[in-house]
Amino acid sequence: MSDSLLQSETVRPEARAGLESVPAPELGSFSPPSQTPLSAHGLTKVWGSKPGNRVIDGLELTLEAGTLTWIGGSNGVGKTTMLRVLAGLIGPTEGNVHMFGLHPERDRRAYQQRLSFLPATSTGLHARLTVRRQLDYTARIGFVPRERRPAMVEESIKRFSLLELAEHRVDRLSMGQRQRVRLAMTFIKEPDLVLLDEPRNSLDGEGAAMLVAAVHEVVGRGGAVLWCSPLGESLGMRFDRKMVLEHGKLKSH
Amino acid sequence: MSTLLLYRDAAMGILARDWTVFKSYRMQFVGQIVSVFLGLALFYFLSHLVSVTKFGSQSKYFAYVVLGMIMIEVLQSTMTVATGLQSELVAGTFERVLLSPFGAVAAVLSMMIFPFFGACISALITLLIAVLLFGLQIHWTTAPEAIPIALLGTGAFTAFGLLFACSAVIFKQVIGGAGLMLTGIALVSGLYFPIALLPGWLKWFSNVQPFTPTVELLRHTLVQTPLTHSTFLDLAKIVGFVLVFLPLSVLLLSHAMRIGQRRGTIIEY
């Protein structure tokens, strides 16, 4: 971790104390409280059958309501795999994850209704759709009720300064503008838990400020945000907890 | 808002998305019309070149083939779901679907709506061109009966489309298989020639799939081609296929998605 780059970032003492005081529950007997935004226990992901491909190894993580957590790590350490497992996109080899007491496979619909995940890639957009259509489509498959959908689409357009680009096709936008669209898609359904994988990609200062405002809005209404980015990236913002993923396990930072 | 309405809105979202993407390629529709015209012209002149005693007249063979061409179009439309799914995996847009409450299986089924309507419109245009430019004689009094038959047939074809979608999820490979499948169906279903010409062992394949009875019934209702089996038997075959294989293919797709997610290969391509 590059300390010099993260000197301006702080960890709220009460949150760090909370992290250290929470005992790891026993596997098997675990029953997550329904108000906990995210709890992962014994999470392990092995690619293929070789033991050396153990990307996540018995990972323990709890995100409390109204908190912003940062997890860093070197390239290829498993941050994206961890986020994909937490998001319910891929299954763990061992262990379990719950969001507000919901299971990603058994309660898939409710799980995905309350969660938003921003993948790190620059893909995931329908190139031939306009920004407004892209957001409307995202809101529809995100089960945003019809009566609220137009207002939420417009709100997202405003929040990420996309008004002038609303009728532009996505494939005609710059990388930074596309990232704003992806952020708008992430926050449009007002999720209770947001998982962000390298969300600052391609963003300018204005875009980064919009991202931070959106993150604080989720935290402010009692949700939780998990922000993952590589070690050394200057973030310049306040986190409740900071951890590093090393050898498949999380360590306080 | 009820869950059913949320699902309907999401499915309409996918339909609107596919329509918008289709519209954005301006030459696509024109290209399809030209392709239909050329296909019809090809078989129109072929029908004049060869004399097939079984059909009595050259125009009857042309009518026979036109319905075969329409069937292939509809069948192709159900197969496009698999290629569409593969494109979405490459573009990373399928990840969004997997991370939505709508879910992958409902989304894949919704992705079949636009190609289906597209194929229906294309089939109508094919018939219109065949009637207006190539003199195809349609039996208008029984023509409306073709609609429920075509819908039932599409239900049966959808099962095949979903099996190819499973292949896209698990094996990440579709195109070669779909081409092979379409050629095989064209061979054994009598789309371009009567199955009576096939050797006995190949005729078995003609009788155990839904394409042969669907195209036979469509030909009978639209151009009065005589049936080789009773209407009831042909209909029973199609309905039976829809009732058994459509739910089974949906279950298989759901299972394929679960396998992909558990393995972690779901978004690979």
Across residues A136-148, what is the average pLDDT? 96
Residue B15 amino acid letter:
L
Report the pLDDT value the prediction gives residue B74, as an integer from 0 to 100.
86
Q: Is the pLDDT of residue B178 over 80?
A: no
Structural domain boundaries enclosing A217: 38-125+190-252
Residue B237 lies in a domain: yes
Structural domain boundaries enclosing B25: 3-263
Report the pLDDT value the prediction gives residue B172, as an integer from 0 to 100.
85
Q: Is the pLDDT of residue A51 over 80?
A: no
Report the pLDDT value the prediction gives residue B207, as an integer from 0 to 100.
85
Residue of B nearest to A81 (CA): B264
Report the pLDDT value the prediction gives residue A236, as an integer from 0 to 100.
75
Report the pLDDT value the prediction gives residue A32, as an integer from 0 to 100.
56
Across residues B99-103, what is the average pLDDT? 97
Residue A78 lies in a domain: yes
The pLDDT tens digits for A188-242 are: 999 999 999 999 999 999 999 999 999 999 999 999 999 999 986 667 788 999 9
Asked if the interface predicted TM-score (ipTM) of this complex is over 0.85, the answer is yes
Residue of B nearest to A126 (CA): B93
Report the pLDDT value the prediction gives residue B228, as an integer from 0 to 100.
83
Mean pLDDT (chain B, rounded): 90
Are B16 and A137 a contacting pair at CB < 8 A?
yes
How close is the nearest chain B Cα to the Cα of A17, in Å? 33
Report the pLDDT value the prediction gives residue B175, as an integer from 0 to 100.
66
Count: domains in chain A: 1
Nearest to A199 by CA among A68, A102, A98: A68
Residue B71 lies in a domain: yes
Residue B57: pLDDT band by 50, 70, 90 thresholds? Answer: confident
Is B121 at the interface with chain A, CB within 8 A? no
Scan for tokens 């430019």, then name that residue.
B133
Task: State whether residue B193 is helix, strand or coil.
Answer: coil
**How far, in Å, CA of B89 to CA of B129, rounded?**
37
Residue B269 lies in a domain: no
Is B1 at the interface with chain A, CB within 8 A? yes
Residue B45 lies in a domain: yes
| H helix intervals, B92-230 | 93-98, 104-110, 113-134, 146-170, 175-188, 200-207, 211-223
Across residues A125-138, what is the average pLDDT? 97
Are B1 and A140 a contacting pair at CB < 8 A?
no
Top-confidence residue, A102 or A32: A102
Q: Say what the pTM is.
A: 0.88
Q: In which region does residue A73 sit, left (phi positive, over 0), alpha (psi from -120 to 50) or beta (all else)?
A: left
Count: domains in chain B: 1
Task: Report the CATH number at residue A86.
Answer: 3.40.50.300
Residue A2 lies in a domain: no
The pLDDT tens digits for A204-219 are: 999 999 999 999 999 9
Residue A146 lies in a domain: no
Buried-state track B148-182, b at ≥16 Cβ within 10 A, e below 16: ebbebbbbbbbbbbbbbbbbbbbeeebeebbeebb
Residue A32 lies in a domain: no
Report the pLDDT value the prediction gives residue A107, as an integer from 0 to 100.
96
Are B91 and A128 a contacting pair at CB < 8 A?
no
How close is the nearest chain A Cα to the Cα of B262, in Å? 4
Are B1 and A145 a contacting pair at CB < 8 A?
yes
Are A129 and B17 a contacting pair at CB < 8 A?
yes
Residue B268 lies in a domain: no
Residue A202 lies in a domain: yes
Are A90 and B261 a contacting pair at CB < 8 A?
yes
- Could you tell me which residues of chain A have a Cβ less than 8 Å from any Cβ in chain B? 45, 47, 81, 84, 87-91, 105, 108-110, 112-113, 115-117, 119, 121, 123-129, 133, 136-138, 140-143, 145-147, 149, 169, 185
Across residues B50-73, what is the average pLDDT? 84
- Specify whether the CB–CB gap between A220 and A189 falls below 8 A: no
Residue A14: pLDDT band by 50, 70, 90 thresholds? Answer: very low
Residue B52 lies in a domain: yes
Give percent of chain B above pLDDT 90.
54
Report the pLDDT value the prediction gives residue A223, as an integer from 0 to 100.
96
Report the pLDDT value the prediction gives residue A26, as an integer from 0 to 100.
41
